[in-house]
Amino acid sequence: KNQVEQSPQSLIILEGKNCTLQCNYTVSPFSNLRWYKQDTGRGPVSLTIMTFSENTKSNGRYTATLDADTKQSSLHITASQLSDSASYICVVPLSGGYNKLIFGAGTRLAVHP
Amino acid sequence: GAVVSQHPSWVICKSGTSVKIECRSLDFQATTMFWYRQFPKQSLMLMATSNEGSKATYEQGVEKDKFLINHASLTLSTLTVTSAHPEDSSFYICSASEGAAYEQYFGPGTRLTVT
């Protein structure tokens, strides 16, 4: 079954601290994996796109990793800011195309001052 | 680039009435548009996929007569919730793509509250 699982479900950290979010997937065949940030009451915004051959990709304070062998990805947030408070969603397209996206349930991150 | 807008951003309607939500691709031609629904603390659930000029394809369990989708142009798709009921209250998000092989870009969402 094609699934995307994320952990933890929710996370609270203090401003300035780092954190790592996890994503495991069983989607096959695999072409790419995406991390989105969704602020409350807003649509998802793409953070990174990881293809099969990429191990690490950074976007500012966000760094995503991918291990295609173990089918795991992580999103590391460095020096967190209050504005990082949001849901982070891991998404894997089905069958190599984009018409069907498999969404993880998301990790709700709260950054406290 | 790749901006998708939705209108309205929020709407409150009475039970039994219909409400229309618009989704526009502002700087690209969207051959395919998608409509999602998101309940609190849950992830996005695909409702239907529409290709410009064709009838929408609905996901299992989504009533096509209740959620009318029109994709009459390459930049506009509309979702009409007919005879809305309180259980239809949700966050509706659209996305747009230049085609099956292209990335989906998400709109900002529309919060629907049915009283």
Nearest to A44 among B49, B100, B106 (CB): B106
Do B52 and B30 touch, CB atoms closer than 8 A?
yes
Running DSSP on this structure, what letter comes out for residue B69?
A: E
**End-to-end Cα, chain B, rounded Å:** 37
Q: What is the CA radius of gyration of chain A?
A: 13
pLDDT reading at A2 higher than 80? yes
- Report yes or no: A6 at the B interface, CB cutoff 8 Å: no
A99 to chain B, minimum CA–CA distance in Å?
A: 5
- Report yes or no: B66 at the A interface, CB cutoff 8 Å: no
- Report yes or no: A110 at the B interface, CB cutoff 8 Å: no
Per-residue pLDDT of chain B (115 residues; tens, 9 = 90+): 689 999 999 999 999 999 999 999 999 999 999 999 999 888 899 999 998 888 899 999 999 999 999 998 999 999 999 999 999 999 999 999 987 667 889 999 999 999 9
CA distance B4 to B6: 7
Q: Express each pLDDT in A37-54 by its tens digit.
A: 999 999 999 999 998 889
- Report yes or no: A12 at the B interface, CB cutoff 8 Å: no
- What pLDDT, on the 0 to 100 scale, is given for residue A96? 54
